[in-house]
Structure 1
């Protein structure tokens, strides 16, 4: 039997998403289910951060649904007026692939890793209810497996502004529709650490009578992240967290870095690009290590802790007891590999390395006792090798 154009099946819109859900959320298992939640939460996070700060509340409801509410100011069902930079209206995001998951760049938080947007979440849900509160009016719309049941309509008064989206993942698509509270909480905690000004909560209403809630908000951003990692390890001898932020036009982005040395021998360095974890590291981590090594070596030589013939501190020695967060936010991040776990922007390495060298060198000068303790410990370790 021959193969010709008549045998090509062209799927468009929500049919394409429902036919091949793994292409859009990664799997039909728990991982894909969580990605569905991240798509909806991501829109809410970016809505509230667009105004500088705000709150996102996520609830796992007792009937198997997920409710995501935000207090953003820009929510609307319709497309914005000409010249408005608010992006497509909510109805377009829910019903059109062409509306896309939204803009990219340093100011956009990617909570998940796929980026299919609200359209995919709607198509893979058996039901979805959207509500927008604006200008004193609540307007709502309902969907069934991605299809609108009626146009948006006013349903009552509103005392605040924001958007609420409640959806029920489709049991015909997913192997399980029960989200892991722990997995969602860990990711929301990361996002709150990496985006100061954001408050995010997660509530579980199931099982009945045993509701629980966690809330995340971190005014000091990655400094709080480093302090939390160190506290979890129980290894800190001193509370000093070294941290800074810098914008660098050469890499078309910003960096936020925090670190401390404790009494542990373990290294805990976590890295992120545009709020996504980069477990394989990349140029931002390479630059961080370059900068730390240069600053430590310069201080040690200037204080006579290292002689001219001595080698500079090697990376594994510098890492003993080091806890750090390296977060960059770029207009055009370039990830290497299919898992997006390795940052490849070449210019980032030099920018981060220079910033670390300068800031850490200044900190050493301003804190001579701690500097002598930290650098002396590293140098002694090298001499003992």
Structure 2
């Protein structure tokens, strides 16, 4: 069909830029205008707060870094952190673009990146999108003893930034009200947000994230998450939820490897199940389809078990057991943080960095092999359980 037939030509092309483009096609930026998109809007703001804390060093596991999220009674969301704060208007630089630029432009300059950056949401659309899709947003920065506030309405500045008094400490507070003209619902799910924040806290050892809900008529409800043992706590919690709390044999380690330009944190537990339950994460993003970090983990476990069993004459003659059978009764979390993660597929649920597989496999084989040597009785029990399970197939 020709342009003449349809009456369509270049003059009919509508070019939208900036906030108009975001408000015209919100699903492109947050996934949907339903509850899922609403939660993504919250994750955009919380993600920025988490990264301010992590990059500033507060959430490194040694400090008391926090992000406090409040669902206010008037339908708003308030996100406060004790990150570095920084000037509201600045030239950006090593710390990334200033807050005003992030709120008002797609092109604010280079974003923070690397292994220290956590993806709380799926898209990393940024604060500009959150601002454009909120009927109202206020941003407060605490820095160098002062407080500065800026207010917007549907992404448009209401008044210039104003100094509003003194402050102790540093950090940022962003309060926003999702726009009812955009979203089908502006009521966030406490359960959905709490589950994701709990996961982020597991994957960023020492970071504290709290969620407070001021909306219930019966009174405020609140939860707070902080896990000093990181993914070891994650595996223990998953096992407890399965009804086997108190298992003493969660094996865990972390390692930095320059060959993959990143770090890994791994925890595993052999259970009585005959089902493999391995959860992978890259830069705190769930990799539901797996990837090279999960493949490397399986390689390492299989190599450690096979070597241990072979040294002790536990393997019957014939080919080595298949990796999937060795890993069948495992519950594990494999989390990597990379300077340059490469996600494959439309949903970005598959990690593709090729060097990660060998690095993770080698680290798991070495650590698990060492653990077997240091705990011979439990090692013999685990390996025997694995081999008996294989023999029963």
* The two structures share one fold, judged by TM-score above 0.5: yes
CA RMSD of aligned residues (A): 1.5
2:300 to 291, 297, 301: 291
**Aligned-partner Cα distance in 1 for 2:136–2:298:** 49
**Aligned-partner Cα distance in 1 for 2:313–2:247:** 25
Report the CA distance between 1:315 and its aligned residue: 3.2
Residue of structure 2 in register with 1:39 after alignment:
44
Q: Extract unaligned runs of 5+ from structure 2.
A: 59-64
SS of 2:272 mapped into structure 1: coil
Residue of structure 2 in register with 1:370 after alignment:
378
SS of 2:269 mapped into structure 1: strand
**Aligned-partner Cα distance in 2 for 1:117–1:35:** 10
Give the TM-score normalised by the residue count of structure 1. 0.96
Give the TM-score normalised by the residue count of structure 2. 0.94
Report the CA distance between 1:101 and its aligned residue: 8.2
Report the CA distance between 1:344 and its aligned residue: 1.0
Report the CA distance between 1:317 and its aligned residue: 2.9
SS of 1:174 mapped into structure 2: coil
Report the CA distance between 1:319 and its aligned residue: 2.8
Residue of structure 2 in register with 1:9 after alignment:
14
More displaced 10-residue stretch of structure 1: 153-162 or 341-350:
153-162
Task: Say whether the 8 Å CA contact 2:87–2:143 is kept in structure 1.
Answer: yes
**Aligned-partner Cα distance in 2 for 1:55–1:86:** 19
Report how many aligned residue pairs link the two structures.
382
Residue of structure 2 in register with 1:131 after alignment:
140
Give matches, 1:87-126, under 5 Å.
87-99=96-108, 102-126=111-135
**Aligned-partner Cα distance in 2 for 1:73–1:251:** 29
SS of 1:327 mapped into structure 2: strand
Residue of structure 1 in register with 2:192 after alignment:
183
Task: Say whether the 8 Å CA contact 2:326–2:390 is kept in structure 1.
Answer: no
Task: Say whether the 8 Å CA contact 1:65–1:167 is kept in structure 2.
Answer: yes
Report the CA distance between 1:237 and its aligned residue: 7.6
Residue of structure 2 in register with 1:27 after alignment:
32
Q: Extract unaligned runs of 5+ from structure 1.
A: none
Report the CA distance between 1:331 and its aligned residue: 1.2
- Does 2:387 match 1:379? yes
**Aligned-partner Cα distance in 1 for 2:41–2:68:** 16
SS of 2:289 mapped into structure 1: coil
**Aligned-partner Cα distance in 1 for 2:308–2:377:** 13
Residue of structure 2 in register with 1:301 after alignment:
310
**Aligned-partner Cα distance in 1 for 2:279–2:245:** 17
2:178 to 164, 169, 174: 169
Residue of structure 1 in register with 2:74 after alignment:
63
**Aligned-partner Cα distance in 1 for 2:264–2:145:** 39
More displaced 10-residue stretch of structure 1: 166-175 or 325-334:
325-334
- Does 2:323 match 1:315? yes
**Aligned-partner Cα distance in 1 for 2:247–2:8:** 71
Report the CA distance between 1:94 and its aligned residue: 0.4
1:354 to 362, 379, 383: 362
Residue of structure 1 in register with 2:221 after alignment:
212
SS of 2:70 mapped into structure 1: strand
Task: Say whether the 8 Å CA contact 1:110–1:276 is kept in structure 2.
Answer: yes
